[in-house]
Structure 1
């Protein structure tokens, strides 16, 4: 197993807690958290992770604004980003992939399969 560092950006602490449990279940991944797009951007620039899980609907800097800022910064431009969203419509998903997402996971997600979903999108071995 390879130790990966993942930045989870979500304004809901309950989602952060459940996602952290799911992402560390049977992995040695290290999870950093941020509760806003602005805080996530700062954290990613200061310590670039191997991947970012990013909520779409957040107050202030939402997920689309955050991914745009991450993709424009040379430090974070190549970090893969997987969106977490409650919007499951095909048009919503298409818009997220067009913004540069490596994957889209619909909320509510199953914490017992979250790590395997992330690994699948990024072609990582568990």
Structure 2
């Protein structure tokens, strides 16, 4: 949790903590926990982001082997990563979360997701059978 809060700008601490507390409370009422929900999200990220991660790492290794500097490598890695973060990839992460979590857990995630991303761009209707 401390690591996640460290990514939040100091001006957003209170709203981020409020969001997390509301999310945690909803999950507990649903018979779940923040730890379980974060495990579901983490597993979905790992599953869906692994191919993109491998592509970026392979490029970085190749550039290092060719004597490129970190200053030259960073923009190339960033280009690959941002190009790979497509709507299809994000929807895939959402779908995996639907498949592995309960409807109650998923319903609890909708309010925080609406504050973090443009949910209108994605199919957010709970359906644990979509892949």
- TM-score greater than 0.5 by the shorter chain: no
Larger strand percent: 1
TM-score calculated relative to the size of structure 1: 0.28
Q: Larger relative contact order (C-alpha < 8 A, sep ≥ 6)?
A: 2
Rg larger in 1 or in 2?
2
